[in-house]
Amino acid sequence: MRKHGENSDNNFESLKLKYEKVLKAIPDLFFIFDKDGYLRDYYTNNTNTILPYEKLINKNIKEFLPPKAVTSILKNIAAVLKENKPFTIRFYIPPQKIYHEMRLISYSKDRVLAIVRDITEQEIIRLELKESEELYHKMFEHSPDPIIIYSEGKVVDWQKRNLSLQKGKFAMWKFLRFRLFIKINYRC
């Protein structure tokens, strides 16, 4: 059982040090916003990602974030305070080309804690994958040659424009006319 009194200051300092070490290990930014979007406090261990404390503290997010992000953040701050449940939003900062994910949770009756993570790398990969899938789809659907993709002996996709299925089997006459047959064995 913990004793109160003389050691409570030491325990507080010890606990404070422990949490500071935990926060230093986390690359996220921590903000405390009031209900109107004013930044009341923040913590970061990365000095390259944010303006100095004095330039942001007690400023409204309208002063340092793009309007589209501000609208979404203010709407979600109100929702967190009203519903007392966490919300997650994503926003993009155009000049620096940075994508962020912000998790908002209730901090007090009129303040929220915002945990902000840089998701630029993941978002770029997601966008490149989407572009690649669209290109594949265009090539697959518009190829002049019939294409079938199958895995483990089962057809998983076929070019609808050049092929037709009859009761799950390819019509033999179309099969014999294939000039191109692609076999891709993939695992999900």
Instruction: Identify the pLDDT of residue 11.
Output: 81
Q: What is the mean pLDDT of the chain?
A: 79
Please give the CATH topology (third level) of the domain spanning 9-122: Beta-Lactamase (3.30.450)
- Give the pLDDT confidence of 14-39 residue by residue, as tens digits: 887 887 788 778 878 899 999 999 99
pTM: 0.65
Instruction: Identify the pLDDT of residue 20.
Output: 79
- Give the pLDDT confidence of 139-187 residue by residue, as tens digits: 877 777 777 777 777 777 777 665 554 444 555 445 444 434 444 444 4
Which three-class secondary structure string do you get for the chain? CCCCCHHHHHHHHHHHHHHHHHHHHCCCEEEEEECCCEEEEEECCCCCCCCCHHHHCCCEHHHCCCHHHHHHHHHHHHHHHHHCCCEEEEEEECCCCEEEEEEEEEEECCEEEEEEEECHHHHHHHHHHHHHHHHHHHHHHHCCCCCEEEECCEEEEECCCCCCEECCEECHHHHHHCCCCCCCCCCC
Mean pLDDT within 100-113 = 95
* CA-angle at 137, arms to 135 and 142, nearest 5°: 100
pLDDT at 6 over 70: no
- Give the pLDDT confidence of 70-86 residue by residue, as tens digits: 999 999 999 999 999 99
State the greatest distance between any 2 C-alpha atoms of the chain, in Å, as a whole number. 92
pLDDT at 134 over 80: yes
**Domains of the chain by residue range:** 9-122, 143-188
